[in-house]
A and B are shown apart, each in its own frame.
Chain A
Amino acid sequence: ETGVTQTPRHLVMGMTNKKSLKCEQHLGHNAMYWYKQSAKKPLELMFVYSLEERVENNSVPSRFSPECPNSSHLFLHLHTLQPEDSALYLCASSAETRNNSPLHFGNGTRLTVT
């Protein structure tokens, strides 16, 4: 079983749909992250949660709504997305938000907005 599990692996949705991405970590970590990976662009940090509290929100549009019900689970709720939101969404966790603590990534959800 991998340390960080993301579901679904692939998602196709229309601009009027509502869907959610799920992330679960089995590493006993206290911090969880959402990243967006688009073609030809560096990884973009979207949200950071530490001990279930959101500690960073990098000017992400409100059509993306994160939720962290406990330290093992992280969701990204999606609604009224745009085609430019198509990307690979990566979840990561770390032992803590101190920056000598490496990130452990899931395999991502490939999102296509039509």
Chain B
Amino acid sequence: AQSVTQLDSQVPVFEEAPVELRCNYSSSVSVYLFWYVQYPNQGLQLLLKYLSGSTLVKGINGFEAEFNKSQTSFHLRKPSVHISDTAEYFCAVSGTYGQNFVFGPGTRLSVLP
């Protein structure tokens, strides 16, 4: 079975500051990893994904994430956040042998002026 942990339920940060949202997963098989963002009153939008290859993946809106297999982590980072980045961020994993997506509980990022 797979599971996803997002330790921080809320992260407040000032505008133009860097941010890291943490994601750790547990799985007995190889995984694919994803970060999604949900703006108020909207569905989830794919930010970035790790399937294979380079462990540093870049996504939309200036976000990037690094896959660390030894630490079973896939933390999301942005060097300088904007007010418009205020949203809920979800980490998700899926197994490479057909297991379905499992989503983390989400981290609410609040960017303060």
Contacts and interface: CB of A to CB of B under 8 A. Distances in A.
Interface in B39-94: 41-46, 49, 51, 90, 94
Contacts of B95: 99
Interface of A: 4, 6, 40-43, 45, 48, 56, 90, 92, 97-100, 102-108
Interface residues of B, number: 25
Query: Which 3 pairs between the two chains have the least Cβ-Cβ distance?
Result: A105-B43, A99-B94, A43-B103
A42 B105 contact: yes
A43 B4 CA distance: 12
20 contacts: A4-B43, A41-B105, A42-B104, A42-B106, A43-B103, A45-B100, A98-B98, A99-B32, A99-B95, A99-B96, A99-B98, A99-B100, A99-B101, A100-B51, A100-B96, A102-B49, A103-B36, A103-B44, A107-B41, A108-B42
B26 interface: no
A73 to B, nearest CB: 17
B10 interface: no
B34 interface: yes
Interface of B: 4, 32, 34, 36, 41-46, 49, 51, 90, 94-96, 98-106
Contacts, number: 54
A100 B49 CA distance: 9
Given A45-B101, A103-B44, 5 more contacts: A98-B98, A99-B96, A102-B34, A106-B43, A108-B42
A92 to B, nearest CB: 8
Contacts of A90: 43-44
Contact of B32 (A92, A100, A107, A108): A100
Nearest to A94: B101
B90 A56 contact: no
Given A41-B105, A42-B105, A99-B32, A48 B100 contact: yes
Contacts of A108: 42-43
Contact of A42 (B46, B49, B103): B103
